[in-house]
Amino acid sequence: MVTTNVNLCGIELDNPIIPASGTFGFGYEFAELYDINILGTFSFKGTTKEPRFGNPTPRIAECESGMINAVGLQNPGVDKVISEELPKLKKCFNKKVMANVSGFSVEEYVHTCSLLDKCEQVGWLEVNISCPNVHGGGMSFGTSPEAASEVVRAVKAVTTKPVIVKLSPNVTDIVAIAKACEDAGADGISLINTMLGMRIDLRTRKPVIANKMGGFSGKAIFPVALRMVYQVAHAVKIPVIGMGGVSCAEDVIEMMLAGAVAVEVGAQNLIDPYACKRIIEDLPRVMKKYGIKNLNDIIGGVL
C-alpha cells in the first residue's frame, strides 16, 4: 500500500495530480469522460474581470514535441463564471477547485480575486502574473520582482484563501521573482507557464499563429520546467506546484524530487483527455517500482 496524499497550503489532496488551467475547461466537460473526483483538484480556465473573446484565429500550432497557443484568455468573465460555470461544476465535482485568475491591471486582479475568494467551492487562487500590465507599458507583471510583489500584496489584502502565484519562464531570473512573491505574502508558487514560441508556414512564409507568437508547451519543455522548479523550490519556503511538459507518472516523481508538492498536467490533456486519469492510476505502480511508500518522503529529495 502506498500513500499518495499531499497537503497543498493546508488543504489535503488525495493525490498530487492537478489538470492545469486552460487545458481542462471548467471541469464538467471532462466529467462526461470519467469521474473527475479522482483528481487531487484542478485549475479552471483562466478568468478575467470582463468577458474575453480571445485572440484572432488561427491560434493553435502543432510542433514536433508540443504545441503553440495564443488563445488569449477567452472566458466569460468572473461574474458568469460564478453564476453559471461553478454551479455546473458543483454537480460533478465535490472537492475544492483552484481558481485561475488573470488581469491587465492590479485593480482587475483585486476585483476578480475578491469575488472568487467568497466562493465556497474555491480552495485556492492561482494568480497568473504572465499578463501584460496595461498601465505599465505592456510588460508582463511577472517579468519584474517589483511588479509581481505589487500584485501579490494587493490580492492578499482582499482575500482569505491561499494565493498561489503562477510564474512565467520568460524571464532572466525566475528565483528573484519567486522570492519577491514569497516576501509579498504569497502562499505558494506554481511554475512554469508556457514559454514563448513561433512557427512559420513555408508555403505562405507567414507565421502559423495570427498573433505571430504564442505559448509553447508540451513534452519538449519538461527539462526546462524541472530545472526552474528545482531552483525555486530550493529558494523559497512556501509550497511549489510543478508543471511544464508532464505526461506520465514518472514525470510526476521527477517533479516532486525537484521540490514540487503537487504537479499540474497541461498540454497532455489536449492530446489525451484521459491523461490525468491514466497518471493517477499508474502512480502506485511507479512508486513501488522506485521503492517509494509515501510521496511526501520524496518532495525535494533529489540527491
- List the catalytic residues: 131
Could you tell me the CA-to-CA distances from 196 to 39, 130, 140, 199 in Å, in that order? 29, 11, 13, 11
Place of cell 514536433: 64
The dihedrals phi and psi of 138, each to the nearest 5 degrees, come to 95, -10
> CA nearest 44: which of 98, 81, 105?
98
- CA–CA gap between residue 150 and residue 152 (Å, rounded): 6
Distance of CA 65 to the CA centre of its chain: 20
Alpha carbon distance 209, 214 (integer Å) = 7
Dihedral pair phi/psi, residue 128, rounded to 5°: -85, 110
For 11, the 3-state DSSP assignment is strand
Cell 476578480 maps to which residue?
112
